[in-house]
Amino acid sequence: MSRISRRDFLKLGSVVTGTLALSNIAPKLSFGRGPSVPGIVVFVFDAMSAKNLSLYGYRRKTTPNFERFAQRAVVYNTHYSAASFTTPGTASLLTGLYPWTHRAINESGLVARDLASQNLFEAVGKGYYRLAFSQNMWPNYFFGQFQSEIEKILPPAAFSLIDEVYGDKFGTDLLTGHRTFEDFLLQDGVPPASLFFGLAERIQMHRAVARVQDADYPHGIPRTGNYPIFFKLKDMFDGLISTVNQLRSPSLAYLHLWSPHAPYIPAAKFWNFFTDQWRPIQKPDHVLGEHILPSQINNRRRAYDNYIANLDDEFGRLLDFLEQKGILDQSYVVITSDHGEFFERGEEGHVSPLLYDPVVRVPLMISTPGQTSRKDVYAPTVSTDVVPTLAHLIGREIPAWAEGELLPELGGSGAPGRSIFMMDAKYNPAFAPLSIASFAMRKDQYKLIYYKGYEQYNGRDAFELYDMENDPEEMNDLYSDNPSIAGPLREELFAKIDSVNAKYKH
């Protein structure tokens, strides 16, 4: 008889797993104490581009259930992440700071040590029971930094089918645990994994995967990138439902899902959900792109859309639960993402230095307690706005450190003339002047993109300018022909970069 390992117990099901993960929470209370003490639930769907959601006018009907949620929410139609991939995008969402301030700009980077106490959990305060969960490993590094402000951190594999993550099993220092085990000793297939421990982990993981047969996933089980966490969407949403159902009152729950991040592996029902022959407008390859063939990009776009449709279907069950339990009547519920996804200009994914809308424009919807109708906001907003807005909504002082503003319809004015910023500087040292980076600035209808220090431009500055109201696909570069518009925007962006670089010049 074969010996049953500890990992085998993870197959018992997501609801049981969720219950075990939450077992040291005190007996639950009713979710809210009335409108005066609302709960806060933040759902982050990793790599969800607003451009691929029918919620925002996308051609394919990808999000009927998110649209149902929108009927009782404030919907932000021109909302941006401050960055183009998980580390800086999530850090800005959690701190209310731009990447050039919090400095978590590299892959799996950290918030500057002296800023680690400036975060959403601190802004909400000790009057709330604060819970954090992320399937994506990188936000867990931030949870390790914010640990003193979080009452409960669920492990990244809490609701997963196969779990080969070890860092959260060793002591209370999550940051060191995950760095040691997941990033050094055991990372699957990617250096700097330990030769011995990495090989043993891969053998164990592949054996575990081989034992899993699931008719719902004939093309393989979804996983979290290079980290050894395998899951089914149904189990994930069962776990979310179980988690929210057991929250104390009042609570803040930050719940960060991997999906629809690649690899795009939907359940069988959604594998060929979109069979149309639609081809989006073909855009020219960019000098900083990977020059992937258009046919390959279109196939990947369709796979991504299929996966979003699968995610939306599961979200429909979560929405039913939130309605039936009365949680939407007693809570602020936030739907957003940390960044988007590319399928154009010879590029797919989000590792690119390009900052076109598909990779930085993300969904944001906030349902207020008891809201029964939809409100649309079209003024540009940015992820740094979420922390100050949530603090304001529950009657807390707006954090002085926050670089965002109050969101329109939730305390802010949305007045014209505001500038918001996005950036990518993954190849720049974290604590040095920004010399190799991409920047974008959105102001009213215009968007300026600035490429700094790239060898493809021989180190020269390069710019693009788009009229987003009349050219939402960013096809007509106005930079050279409109100096009266481009000049002031460029000078404002230069001044901002100079001010943040000044701190790191010796």
- Return the CATH number at 47: 3.40.720.10
Q: Average pLDDT for residues 435-462, to the nearest whole number?
A: 97
Question: Both tokens of residue 480?
Answer: 């050279």
Q: Please tell me the predicted confidence (pLDDT) of residue 205.
A: 55
269 inside domain = yes
Q: Which of 57-71, 202-216, 275-289 has the highest mean pLDDT?
A: 57-71
What is the value of pTM for the model shown?
0.88
486 inside domain = no
493 inside domain = no
DSSP secondary structure of 425-471: -TTS-TTS---SEEEEEEETTEEEEEEES-GGGTT--EEEEEETTT-
In contact, 301 and 260? CB cutoff 8 Å:
no
Per the structure, the complete domain to which residue 386 belongs is given by 6-25+37-161+212-411
Q: Average pLDDT for residues 141-159, to the nearest whole number?
A: 95
Q: Average pLDDT for residues 441-452, to the nearest whole number?
A: 98
Q: Please tell me the predicted confidence (pLDDT) of residue 173.
A: 63
Q: Please tell me the predicted confidence (pLDDT) of residue 46.
A: 98
The bridge status of strand 446-452 relative to strand 462-467 is antiparallel
Question: What b/e readout covers 231-257, taking b as 16+ CB neighbours within 10 angstroms?
Answer: bbbbbbbbbbbbbbbbbbbbbbbbbbb
In contact, 162 and 205? CB cutoff 8 Å:
yes
Bridge-partner residues for 133, per DSSP?
Answer: 255
- pLDDT tens-digit series, residues 463-477: 999 999 999 999 999
Q: Average pLDDT for residues 476-487, to the nearest whole number?
A: 98
Q: What angle do CA 300, 90, 417 make, to 5 degrees?
A: 95
Q: Please tell me the predicted confidence (pLDDT) of residue 190.
A: 54
Q: Average pLDDT for residues 386-390, to the nearest whole number?
A: 98
Pairwise CA distance, residues 465 & 448, whole Å? 5
In contact, 331 and 45? CB cutoff 8 Å:
no
Q: Please tell me the predicted confidence (pLDDT) of residue 225.
A: 80
Lowest mean pLDDT among 10-24, 81-95, 484-498: 10-24
Place of tokens 């939450």: 22
Q: For residue 197, is pLDDT > 90?
A: no
Pairwise CA distance, residues 72 & 369, whole Å? 10
Bridge-partner residues for 153, per DSSP?
Answer: 132
- Greater confidence (62 vs 178) lies with 62
Q: For residue 417, is pLDDT > 50?
A: yes
Average predicted confidence (pLDDT) for the chain? 88
3-state helix/strand/coil string of 292-309: CCHHHHHHHHHHHHHHHH
- Verify cis geometry, omega within 30 degrees of 0, for the bond prior to 263: yes
The bridge status of strand 152-153 relative to strand 129-134 is parallel
Q: What residues have CB less than 8 Å from 428, skipping those under 6 apart?
A: 105, 106, 434, 435, 436, 437
Lowest mean pLDDT among 13-17, 293-297, 339-343, 472-476: 13-17
Distances (CA, A) of 183 to 224, 231, 235: 14, 20, 26
205 inside domain = no
Domains identified in the chain, total number: 1
Lowest mean pLDDT among 27-31, 115-119, 167-171, 200-204: 27-31
Reference 332, options 324, 322, 340; nearest CA is 322
In contact, 127 and 250? CB cutoff 8 Å:
yes
- Greater confidence (437 vs 199) lies with 437
CA atoms in the 13 A half-sphere facing the CB of 49? 25
Give one word for 61, left, alpha or beta, with left for phi > 0 and alpha for psi -120 to 50: beta
322 inside domain = yes
Reference 103, options 426, 502, 442; nearest CA is 426
Place of tokens 């993109």: 449
121 inside domain = yes
Share of the chain above pLDDT 90, in %: 77
Place of tokens 């982990």: 201
Q: Please tell me the predicted confidence (pLDDT) of residue 87.
A: 98
207 inside domain = no
- pLDDT tens-digit series, residues 40-71: 999 999 999 999 999 999 999 999 999 999 99
Q: Average pLDDT for residues 143-150, to the nearest whole number?
A: 96
275 inside domain = yes
Q: For residue 15, is pLDDT > 60?
A: no
